[in-house]
């Protein structure tokens, strides 16, 4: 019994995949769910949708694989991070919609806290910045907004969880309230050095400790699924936030190893080993994973718009009918043109963290057409990644002294053109794996490792297989000119410029 199911609960859809011992996908299921936008800058999910789609996709995956739940050695969960849910411990019902990581409703609270001078202390403890992106201010908002919530929380009647905790609670029939260290590390409440909830931070955000789940390793006993759900008591044996699971799925176990995931946005993680390297360049210090009680740290850079730039060409401008058409269109661009698209549609992420910046296009002439815009959209992803890598080299000089090899995954990696642009502007090799479902694979490996049916880190890393390596094919002068043009475009886009 070596089959492992991975449940990948994302921002717009939920997926379930079943892997065999050779990491082949035997069956899968996917369902989208509704997005709720109750006000400008507000993004919510119905928590019931998350569990309903989780159960349905797991059933679909089992049926597609021709398996039953009793054939599974375990379940691994990976999830959208920072999204915040509070529920009643007795009834199991949420007291408010889930507030999604993209939500900006607590921007004013974050600004007031920054003005009070506490951000440096928060960053020293958590590795994070004071931003609505993270969970703590979302929790505080719910407690302050829902009538009676604060009193219920103080008396231990409510539970808080990121999406993983909500899934664990509901799948185990309310028997387990737990999270893993990677999800805990994204709440602004978890001290990544002490590896525990931080009392000073709880007081700062006015959040009762009674709300919080138990924090376990990424590979651990998270309880057993209620057999009424799938027909057997499947053990939940692995949990990690999506970007951490992708880091594991890419076998980035060695310090200096680097992965970048390209979906709607982009998230790059650099493994820094047992060193929690504090960033001086507006990156985040986070946990890559925690196994056997030992934390492994990472520097993370978040780009808000990657594949979303292509979606904008399709849906906003109508230049292409299908996202994959961007490659054909971009290849028709005149290489003599220097058009820069800074896709700050919802602000700029790392290393700028400018929520007020907005998108702009520079270098347009009468000869600029759809092809040049398509090229600029793809190239903007490479430029933003190069910005992250520059910041990582400054924060962790060891990475600059060794050859950088970037392992990539996510939908955009199917574009050979985009990956070649990435390699050219990074001046580094870019490796695309054979198994592109690295986030789900990482969650599956955690469960398989805990179940004792899949290999350890060394064995798993040895099984990683390359699909294609993209090598830089751009001269230094051209690269320098392009990078200088991009940096000037970003400078002119920043709200402080």
- Average pLDDT for runs of 10 along the chain of length 497: 91 92 93 88 92 97 96 96 96 96 88 92 94 93 96 95 98 97 97 96 96 97 97 97 95 93 89 90 93 96 87 88 88 89 86 84 91 94 94 80 82 91 95 90 96 93 93 94 95 82
Q: Using DSSP, state whether 427 is helix, strand or coil.
A: coil
C-alpha pair distances (Å), 270 with each of 178, 399, 419, 455: 27, 9, 19, 23
Q: Residue 376's pLDDT is what?
A: 95
Give which of 309, 291, 342, 334 is closest to 411, Cα–Cα: 309
Residue with tokens 């790059």: 268
Query: Quick one: which H or E segment has residue 447?
Result: helix 438-451
Closest listed residue to residue 270, CA positions, set 171, 136, 128, 405: 405
Residue 242 · residue 79 · CB < 8 Å? yes
Q: Is the peptide bond before 192 cis (omega within 30 degrees of 0)?
A: no
pLDDT at position 35 = 85
Other Cβ atoms within 10 Å of 157 Cβ, number: 17
| b (16+ CB within 10 A) / e for 385-396 | bbbbbbbbbebb
Cα separation, 154 vs 177, whole angstroms? 17
Looking at 337-470, which runs of residues are DSSP E strands?
Answer: 340-342, 360-362, 406-409, 430-433, 466-470
For residue 439, give both structure tokens. Answer: 């986030």
C-alpha closest to that of 417 among 381, 364, 465: 381
- List, as one string, the DSSP characters of 256-306: T-EEEEESSSEEEEEEEET-----SSSPEEEEEEEETTEEEEEEEEEES-S
Domains annotated for the chain, with CATH where assigned, are 3-242 (3.30.420.40), 251-497 (3.30.420.40)
* Gap between the Cα atoms of 296 and 289, Å rounded: 6
Cβ neighbours for 151, distance < 8 A, ≥ 6 positions apart: none
Give the Cβ contact number of residue 459 at 10 Å: 10
pLDDT value for 131: 87
User: Helix, strand, coil shares of the chain as percentages rounded to 5?
Assistant: 40, 25, 40
Q: Using the CB atoms, write b or e for 365-374: b if 16+ within 10 Å.
A: eeebbbbbbb
Coil vs helix vs strand at 14: strand
Rounded to two decimals, what is the model's pTM? 0.90
Element (H, E) at 416: helix 416-426
């Amino acid at each position: 019994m070596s089959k492992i199911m991975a449940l990948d609960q994302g921002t717009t859809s939920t997926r379930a995949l079943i892997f065999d011992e050779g990491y082949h996908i035997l069956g899968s299921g996917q369902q989208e769910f509704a997005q709720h936008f109750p006000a400008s800058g507000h993004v919510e999910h119905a928590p019931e949708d998350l569990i309903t789609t989780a159960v349905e996709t797991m059933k679909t995956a089992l049926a597609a694989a021709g398996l039953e739940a009793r054939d599974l050695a375990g379940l691994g969960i990976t999830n959208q991070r920072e999204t915040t849910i509070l529920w009643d411990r007795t009834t199991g019902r949420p007291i408010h919609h889930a507030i999604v990581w993209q939500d900006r409703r607590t921007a004013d609270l974050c600004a007031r806290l920054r003005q009070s001078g506490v951000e440096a202390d928060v960053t020293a403890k958590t590795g994070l910045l004071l931003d609505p992106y993270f969970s703590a201010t979302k929790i505080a908002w719910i407690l302050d907004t829902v009538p009676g919530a604060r009193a219920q929380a103080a008396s231990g009647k409510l539970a808080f969880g990121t999406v993983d905790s909500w899934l664990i609670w509901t799948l185990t029939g309310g028997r387990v309230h737990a999270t893993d260290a990677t999800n805990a590390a994204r709440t602004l409440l978890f001290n990544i050095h002490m590896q525990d909830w931080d009392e000073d931070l709880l007081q700062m955000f006015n959040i009762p400790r009674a709300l919080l789940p138990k924090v376990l390793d990424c590979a651990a006993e998270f309880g057993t699924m209620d057999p009424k759900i799938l027909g057997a008591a499947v053990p939940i044996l692995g949990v990690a936030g999506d970007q951490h699971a992708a880091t594991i799925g890419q076998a980035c176990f060695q310090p200096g190893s680097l992965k970048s995931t390209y979906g709607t946005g982009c998230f790059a993680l650099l493994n820094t080993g047992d060193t929690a390297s504090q960033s001086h360049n507006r990156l985040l210090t986070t946990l890559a994973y925690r196994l056997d009680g030992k934390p492994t740290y990472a520097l993370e850079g978040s780009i808000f718009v990657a594949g979303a730039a292509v979606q904008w060409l399709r849906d906003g401008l109508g230049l292409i009918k299908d996202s994959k058409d961007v490659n054909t269109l971009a290849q028709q661009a005149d290489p003599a043109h220097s058009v820069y698209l800074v896709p700050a549609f919802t602000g700029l992420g790392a290393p700028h963290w400018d929520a007020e910046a907005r998108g702009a296009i520079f270098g347009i002439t009468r000869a600029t057409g759809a092809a040049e815009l398509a090229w600029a959209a793809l190239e903007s992803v490479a430029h933003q990644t190069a910005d992250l890598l520059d910041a990582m080299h400054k924060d962790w000089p060891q990475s600059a002294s060794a050859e950088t090899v970037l392992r990539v995954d996510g939908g955009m990696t199917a574009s050979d053109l985009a990956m070649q642009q990435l390699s050219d502007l990074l001046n580094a090799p870019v490796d695309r794996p054979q198994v592109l479902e690295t986030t789900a694979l990482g969650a599956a490996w955690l469960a398989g490792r805990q179940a004792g049916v899949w290999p350890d880190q060394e064995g798993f890393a040895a099984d990683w297989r390359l699909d294609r390596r993209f090598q830089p094919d751009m001269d230094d002068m051209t690269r320098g000119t392009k990078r200088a043009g991009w940096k000037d475009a970003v400078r002119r886009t920043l709200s402080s410029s």
